[in-house]
Structure 1
Amino acid sequence: MNVLKFGGSSVANSQNIEKVVQIIANEAAKNQLIVVVSAFGKTTNKLIEAAEQAAQNNANYLDGYKEVELLHSEVIETLVSKNQQEEVKNHINSLFKQLRTLLEGCYLLKEITPKALATISGFGELLSSYIIANIANKEVDAVYKDSRELIITSNTFDKAQVDFALTNANCNAFFTHNQQQVTILPGFIARTKEGEPTTLGRGGSDYSAAIYAAAVNADELQIWTDVSGMYTANPHLVKQAFPVSHISYQEAMELSHFGAKVIYPPTIQPVLHKEIPIRIKNTFEPENAGTVISKITENGKPVKGISHIENITLLTLEGSGMIGVSGISKRLFETLSAHNINVVLITQASSEHSICVGIYDEDAEKAALKINEAFAFEIERHKIDPIRVEQGLAIIALVGDNMRNHQGLSGQMFSSLGKNNVNIRAIAQGASEKNISAVINSSDAKKALNTLHEQFFEEKVKQVNLFVTGVGNVGERFLAQIHQQKKYLKEHLKLNIRVVAISNSKQMIFDEKGISLKSWKEQLQDGEASSLEHFFQRTKALNLRNSVFIDNTANQKVSEVYEHYLTNNIGVVTCNKIACASELENYKKLKYISRKYSAPFLFETNVGAGLPIIDTLKNLIASGDRVHKIQAVLSGSLNFVFNNFNESTSFHDVVQQAQEEGYTEPDPKIDLSGVDVARKILILARESGYELELSNIENNAFLPKKSLETTNNADFYTSLIEFENHFQQLYKEAADNNCRLKYVAEFNDGKASVGLQHIPFDHPFYNLEGSDNIVLFFTDRYPVNPLQIKGAGAGADVTASGIFADVIRIGNQ
Structure 2
Amino acid sequence: MKVLKFGGTSVGSAQNIKRVIDILQKEALTSPIVCVVSAIGGITDKLLQAGELAKQKNEEYLTVFDTIKSIHFKAIEELAPNAESILTDVEAKFNDLKQLLNGIYLINELSPKTSDKLVSFGELLSSFIIAKTMEKMGINAVLKNSQELIITNSNFTKAEVNYEVTNKNITDYFNKANQQITILPGFVSKSQLGETTTLGRGGSDFTAAIIAAALTVEQLEIWTDVSGMYTTNPKLVKQAYPIANLSYQEAMELSHFGAKVLYPPTVQPVLDLAIPIHIKNTLQPEATGTIISNQNNGSNLTVKGISHIDNVALLTLEGSGMVGIPGFSKRLFETIANEKINIIFITQASSEHSICFGIDESNAEQAEQAINSTFENEISLHKINPITVEKGLSIIALIGDNMKSHQGISGKLFSTLGKNNINVRAIAQGASEKNISAVINASDVKKALNSVHERFFEVNTKQLNVFITGIGNVGEKLIDQIQQQHSFLKKNLKLDVKIVGMANSRKMIFNPKGIDLNNWAAQFHHADPSSIEGFYQKVIELNLRNSIFVDITANHDVSKVYENYLKQSVAVVACNKIACSGSYAEYKNLQDLSLKYNAPFLYETNVGAGLPIINTLNNLVASGDKVISIQAVLSGSLNFVFNNFSDKKNFHDTVKQAQFEGYTEPDPRIDLSGIDVARKILILARENGVPMEIEDIVNESFLTKANLESDSVDDFYETLIADEAHFQKLYASAKANNCQLKYVAEYKNGKAKVGLQEVPEGHPFYNLKGKDNIVMFYTQRYPEQPLIVKGAGAGADVTASGLFADIIRIGNK
Question: Shorter-chain TM-score: which interval?
Answer: over 0.9
With over 3 angstroms needed to count, the CA separation of the structure-2 counterparts of 1:141 and 1:714, relative to structure 1, is: farther
- Per the TM alignment, residue 753 of structure 1 is displaced from its structure 2 partner at its CA by 2.4
The answer for the alignment partner of 1:5 in structure 2 is 5
Q: Which residue of 1 aligns with 2:274?
A: 275
**Counterpart for residue 240 of structure 2:** 241
Equivalence for 1:55: 55
Question: Which secondary structure state, in structure 2, belongs to the residue aligned with residue 315 of structure 1?
Answer: strand
Mind listing any 5+ residue stretches in structure 1 that lack a counterpart? none
Which shifted more, 193-202 or 380-389?
Answer: 193-202
**C-alpha distance in structure 2 between counterparts of 1:650 and 1:11, whole Å:** 85
Cα deviation 1:445-484 (Å, max 9, x = unaligned): 1222122222222211222111122222211111211222
Residue pairs, 1:57-456, within 5 angstroms: 57-82=57-82, 85-137=83-135, 138-298=137-297, 299-456=299-456
Query: Are the structure 2 counterparts of residues 53 and 557 from structure 1 closer, same or farther at C-alpha, using a change threshold of 3 Å?
Result: farther
For residue 74 of structure 1, what is the amino acid of its counterpart? K
Could you tell me which amino acid in structure 1 is paired with residue 86 of structure 2? V
Q: In structure 1, what residue type is equivalent to 2:19?
A: K
Q: Greater CA deviation, 312-321 or 697-706? A: 697-706
Cα displacement (A) at 1:736: 2.8
TM-fit CA distance, 1:595? 1.0
- Does the C-alpha gap of structure 1 residues 154 and 358 become closer, same or farther in structure 2, counting only changes over 3 Å? farther
Deviations 1:637-695 (A, max 9, x none): 11111111111112222222222222222322211122211211111111111112223
Q: The residue matched to 1:122 in structure 2 has which SS?
A: helix
Residue ranges of structure 2 left out of the alignment (5+ in a row): none
Q: Check whether the contact 1:6–1:224 (CA below 8 A) recurs between aligned residues.
A: yes
CA distance in 2, matches of 1:701, 1:111: 93
Q: Secondary structure at the match of 2:269?
A: helix
Letter aligned with residue 413 of structure 2: M
| Farther off after superposition, 708-717 or 695-704 | 708-717
Aligned-pair CA distance for 1:568: 1.0
TM superposition score normalised by structure 2: 0.96
Q: Give 1:320's aligned amino acid.
A: S
- The correspondence of residues 515-526 of structure 1 with structure 2, limited to 5 A, is 515-526=515-526
- In structure 2, relative to structure 1, the CA distance for the partners of 1:711 and 1:527 (3 Å cut) is farther
Query: What's the offset of the Cα at 1:530?
Result: 2.5
The range that moved more, 797-806 or 736-745, is 736-745
- Relative to structure 2, which stretch is displaced further, 693-702 or 682-691? 693-702
In structure 2, the CA distance between the partners of 1:108 and 1:658, relative to structure 1 (3 Å rule), is farther
Offset, 1:81: 4.7
* CA–CA distance in structure 2, aligned partners of residues 447 and 159 of structure 1: 37
Structure 2: distance between partners of 1:355 and 1:373: 17
Q: What is the deviation of 1:195?
A: 2.7
Q: Is the alpha carbon distance of 1:125 and 1:722 closer, same or farther for their aligned partners in structure 2, counting shifts above 3 Å?
A: farther
Q: By how many angstroms is 1:21 displaced?
A: 1.2
Matching residue of 1:766: 766
Aligned pair in 2 of structure 1 residues 155, 635: CA closer, same or farther (>3 Å)? same
Read off the aligned partner of 1:211 and give its amino acid letter: I
Q: Which amino acid aligns with 1:614?
A: I
Q: Does 1:633 align with 2:633?
A: yes
Query: How many angstroms apart in 1 are the aligned matches of 2:526 and 2:719?
Result: 40
Higher mean alpha-carbon deviation, 372-381 vs 53-62, is at 53-62
Work out the number of aligned pairs and report it.
811
1:676-719 superposed Cα distances (whole Å, 9 cap, x missing partner): 11211111111111112223333233333443344544443333
Query: Given that residues 130 and 144 in structure 1 are in contact (C-alpha distance below 8 angstroms), is that contact kept between their aligned partners in structure 2?
Result: yes
Give the direction of change, closer, same or farther, for the CA distance of 1:697–1:142 in structure 2 (3 Å limit): same
CA distance in structure 1 between the aligned counterparts of 2:447 and 2:402, rounded to whole angstroms: 25
Q: How far did residue 339 of structure 1 move? A: 1.2
Contact 1:28–1:140 under 8 Å retained in 2: no
Cα pair 1:316 1:388 within 8 Å, conserved? yes
- Distance in 1, matches of 2:419 and 2:114, equals 52
Q: TM-score, normalised by structure 1?
A: 0.96
Query: How far is 1:211 from its partner?
Result: 1.4
Other structure's SS at 1:393 match: strand
The answer for the alignment partner of 1:623 in structure 2 is 623
Rounded Cα–Cα distance in structure 2 between residues aligned with 1:221 and 1:587:
64
Once the two structures are TM-superposed, the CA of residue 575 in structure 1 deviates from its matched residue by 0.7
What residue is the counterpart of 1:753 in the other structure? 753
Cα distance, 1:784–1:57 mapped onto 2, change above 3 Å: farther
In the other structure, the counterpart of 1:720 is 720
Does structure 2 retain, via aligned residues, the 8 Å contact 1:776–1:789? yes
Structure 2 counterpart of 1:543: 543
Further displaced range: 760-769 or 433-442: 760-769
How far apart are 1:440 and its partner, in Å?
1.6
Distance change (3 Å), C-alpha of 1:719 and 1:211: farther
Q: What is the CA–CA distance in structure 2 between the aligned matches of 1:804 and 1:580, rounded to whole Å?
A: 19
Q: Which amino acid aligns with 2:273?
A: K
Q: Identity of counterpart residues, as a percentage?
A: 59
Cα deviation, residue 597, structure 1: 0.9
Residues 18-37 of structure 1 aligned to structure 2 (within 5 Å): 18-37=18-37
Give me the whole-angstrom Cα distance separating, in 2, the residues matched to 1:51 and 1:576. Answer: 66
C-alpha distance in 1, partners of 2:354/2:407? 28
- Partner AA of 1:702 in structure 2: F
Once residues 709 and 268 of structure 2 are traced to their aligned partners in structure 1, the CA distance between those partners, rounded to angstroms, is: 83
Deviations 1:271-321 (A, max 9, x none): 011121111111111111211111112332121111111111111112222
Q: Deviations over 1:16-54 (max 9, x none)?
A: 111111111111222211111112121222222333333
Give, as a single letter, the amino acid of the residue that structure 2 aligns with 1:192. S
How many Å apart are 1:136 and its aligned residue?
Answer: 2.1
Aligned twin of 1:777: 777
The 1-side partners of 2:582 and 2:116 are apart by 69
Contact 1:21–1:135, Cα closer than 8 Å, also in 2: no
